[in-house]
């Protein structure tokens, strides 16, 4: 795998694998791990580019952060 990039907006056409808080950063900061290929296709490839996308706002739960990420994806078009 190559180095993971850190970005502020989700790339077009990429897929969210998960959202998470990263311990070294502030407690309210949520990030989404995204890959360039569909997750079901990823298992057939050895490499896929990955990015962490910052999810703006303060979210107390995983579900709130996931919902915020879905809204970001739906409004990027």
- Residue 33 · residue 18 · CB < 8 Å: yes
Structural domain range at position 35:
5-74
Residue-level pLDDT at 49: 85
Helix (H) or strand (E) holding 41: helix 39-42
pLDDT of residue 38: 76
- Residue 42 has what pLDDT? 63
Round to whole Å and give the CA distance between 9 and 45.
25
Would you say residue 17 has pLDDT above 80?
yes
**Is the pLDDT at 21 greater than 80, yes or no?**
yes
Domain count along the chain: 1
28 conformational bin, left if phi > 0, alpha if psi -120 to 50, beta if neither: alpha
Q: Is the pTM of this model over 0.85?
A: no
């Amino acid at each position: 795998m190559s180095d993971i990039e850190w970005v502020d907006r989700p790339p077009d056409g990429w897929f969210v694998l998960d959202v998470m808080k990263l311990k070294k950063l502030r407690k309210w900061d949520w990030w989404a791990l995204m890959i360039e290929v569909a997750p079901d296709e990823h298992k057939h490839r050895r490499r896929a580019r990955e990015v962490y996308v910052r999810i703006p706002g303060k979210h107390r739960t995983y579900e709130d952060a996931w919902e915020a990420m879905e809204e970001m994806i739906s409004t990027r078009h």
